[in-house]
């Protein structure tokens, strides 16, 4: 395995966060620490992970999913789903309060994260969808809290890293919420050019 680290890295990217890979002379050992199970893989099979379009690689990934060592990747949420989540989150915030909603994030936003980073293009696409629904809806009406929580939950449910921030501005006093992922903020971290100092940051599962 020492002669081709790319093959091992390609396999690592598809594994669940609780799985770790150790190089062996004849291949690799996958340690599933969530269930204390171990799975060996030959060098020839690991080489197949480099070609993402191959049928053999697809079969190997399917086998890892069945073994519980990999998870099915979630696709991008549809425009309709984004709108439904945004309105639902807004109702929840108005019903029980923003603070309680933040404490409930661990139920809606899983704490695992994929090995591959979020794409700035995908996050920007989600930002456009969230803000488009927010501005078109008289009900939501550009609510930064609903936008930030919706973006955070949808990104985390896809296993992507995201951080939800709550910030404060002193003069004049104001609070603002936004979610950052892959260098993109949903909504903007400094609306109308006003900077907010983060006083709370949640980076996964309500933690």
Question: What confidence score (pLDDT) does residue 23 get?
Answer: 85
pLDDT in tens, 175-196: 999 999 999 999 999 988 888 9
pTM over 0.85: no
Local mean pLDDT, 10-residue blocks, the chain (207 residues): 66 80 86 83 85 81 82 72 92 94 84 71 93 84 92 88 93 92 94 90 66
Residue ranges covered by each domain of the chain? 5-66, 79-202
Give residue 167's region: left, alpha or beta (phi > 0; psi -120 to 50): beta
Measure the CA–CA gap between 134 and 177, rounded to whole angstroms.
14
Measure the CA–CA gap between 182 and 192, rounded to whole angstroms.
22
pLDDT in tens, 131-147: 999 888 777 788 999 99
On whether the CB atoms of residues 153 and 104 are closer than 8 A, the answer is: no
For 74, how many CA atoms within 13 A lie in the half-sphere containing its CB?
15
| Radius of gyration (C-alpha) of the chain in whole angstroms | 20
């Amino acid at each position: 395995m020492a002669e081709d680290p790319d093959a091992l890295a390609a396999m690592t990217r598809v594994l669940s966060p609780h799985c770790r890979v150790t190089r062996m002379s004849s291949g690799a050992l996958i340690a599933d620490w969530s269930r204390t199970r171990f799975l060996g893989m030959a060098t020839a099979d690991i080489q197949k992970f480099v070609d993402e379009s191959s049928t053999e690689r697809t079969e190997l990934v399917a086998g890892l999913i069945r073994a519980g060592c990999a998870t099915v990747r979630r696709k991008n949420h549809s425009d309709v789903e984004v709108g439904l989540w945004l309105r639902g989150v807004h109702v929840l915030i108005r019903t029980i309060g923003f603070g309680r909603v933040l404490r409930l994030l661990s139920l809606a936003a899983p704490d695992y994260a994929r090995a591959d980073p979020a794409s700035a293009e995908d996050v920007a696409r989600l930002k456009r969808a969230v803000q488009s629904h927010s501005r078109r809806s008289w009900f939501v009406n550009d609510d930064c809290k609903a936008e930030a929580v919706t973006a955070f939950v949808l990104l985390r449910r896809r296993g992507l890293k995201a951080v939800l921030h709550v910030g404060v501005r002193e003069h004049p006093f104001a609070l603002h919420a936004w979610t950052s992922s892959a260098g993109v903020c949903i909504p903007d971290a400094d609306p109308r050019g006003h900077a907010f100092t983060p006083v709370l940051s949640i980076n996964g599962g309500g933690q």
